[in-house]
Amino acid sequence: MRFGQRLARAVAEHGPLCVGIDPHPGLLDAWGLPRDVSGLERFALTCVEAFGGHVALVKPQAAFFEAHGSRGVAVLERVVADLRDSGTLVLVDAKRGDIGSTMSAYAAAYLADGSPLAGDAVTLSPYLGFGSLDPALEAARASGRGVFVLALTSNAEGSSVQRAVGPDGRSVAQAVVDAAAARNAGADPLGDVGLVVGATVGDLGVDLSDLHGYVLAPGFGAQGGTVADLRAVFGRELRGVLPTSSRDVLRHGPEPASLRSAAAAVRHSLEM
């Protein structure tokens, strides 16, 4: 079963919510954990216990694990394995992007069978040209995994690149959308190439109607995005949109039951 099919099944069972695992130093402090690998591990595995089998998609942020060196990456590997053992889809938020053999190496790390860092999908940056992602897209296709490609982010600096207009009259973001749509053509129900579009971008300014794939919408919750923002950006139906909530849920830790209840409350708000 391809990633798009597995994600459709997970959303049907658990609702359209992606919960992040962001072991931010401030959250470690709030949970009463040390800012070292032992604290990182306790934080991350508590999140696995809370969310595994209860949400559609879990997104560990690789940078917070990498900050602790090889021992932190080992914790990320365990998080990926334990979530997958629980039957929960894992999106590794690594935002990789490069060219040639280097992109192929990233693809092997995050998208190839047998790699301990390979979840069910990975985030990618296309800003060396969408074609530079071909090794990752081919690796995802071969292994039945998915990717989420940055398209339109909500940080203020992003618009100078993403909304710039190319020689063909399209914005850079629209060119990314169109390239992803071409990869998803004919998929049932939705394709394996998703996009990242911020929940607080305001005027969308791109046409997603032909994407035929999922849209990850970070910025929901603690970063200011609301359900009203989501509907203003994507329309009331929110079909294929996966709002991401990280710190707004994680602040309810460290008890797994409290984290699980917080995620359930966010999911319920999306259904109202």
Question: Residue 163 gets which letter from DSSP?
Answer: T
Q: Is 95 a known active-site residue? A: yes
Pure H helices in 96-171: 100-111, 134-143, 159-162
Is the four-CA dihedral 17, 137, 114, 63 of positive or negative sign? negative
Which residue among 95, 163, 251, 252 is the active-site one? 95
Please, how many CA atoms are within 13 Å of residue 187, restricted to the half-sphere of its CB?
A: 28
Is the four-CA dihedral 137, 73, 59, 115 of positive or negative sign? positive
**C-alpha–C-alpha distance, residues 59 and 97, integer Å:** 18
Question: In this structure, what token pair is assigned to residue 98?
Answer: 């490069």
CB within 8 A of 204, min separation 6: which ones? Answer: 152, 197, 233, 234
CB within 8 A of 108, min separation 6: which ones? Answer: 115, 139
133 with 126: CB under 8 angstroms? yes
Q: Which residues are catalytic?
A: 95
